[in-house]
Amino acid sequence: MRTLNLILPSLALCVLFTFLGEGASCRNKEPAVTNATVERKNKLAKGVWGGQHIRLEVTDSGATIEFDCANSTIAEPIVLDREGKFDVRGKYIPEHGGPVRENEESNGYSVRYVGHASDKELTLTITIPEKKETIGNFTLTHGSEGRVMKCR
């Protein structure tokens, strides 16, 4: 009985110090987790974003976009401000139905992509500044392939 009286308090102290030690190590790791979250939030999430008539694939260095009858590229990282907004430039190349002629070239247009990301939703407006023309307004969802029907 005497041995049991000595073992129980010792065991309780060991368990207490184990929990205290784990708690302290978790507190020391919190800033690193917070910083990683901040680093992720300053760029548009990588992967596929899709919506009606659009599919956007984001990488660390920019993005590629497929439309029903066009394609586009963004050759710079898509950096978000504190409110989740961005404004980047890219290249928009119209396509057409039917065969592509042997010597056919399309230089496309320099375009501006203005958007706002919130959670898994992205609103995007694409304009051709030199023509003062809007190509379109889109709503995309992260993880969705979108619905693109290529012109034939």
- Over residues 86-142, the pLDDT tens digits come to 999 999 999 887 776 777 777 799 999 999 999 899 999 999 999 999 999 999 999
- DSSP secondary structure code for residue 45 in this structure: P
Angle at 149 between CA 101 and CA 109, to 5 degrees: 55
Give me the pLDDT at residue 136, please: 95
- The answer to whether 113 touches 74, Cβ cutoff 8 Å, is yes
- Any residues with CB less than 8 A from the CB of 54 and at least 6 apart, and which? 65, 66, 67, 124, 136, 138, 140, 146, 148
- Over residues 6-60, the pLDDT tens digits come to 555 555 544 444 444 544 444 444 333 322 223 455 999 999 999 999 999 999 9
H/E run at residue 17: helix 2-41
User: Which tokens hold the place of 59?
Assistant: 């990488």
Question: Which pairing describes strands 62-67 and 54-59: parallel, antiparallel, or unpaired?
Answer: antiparallel
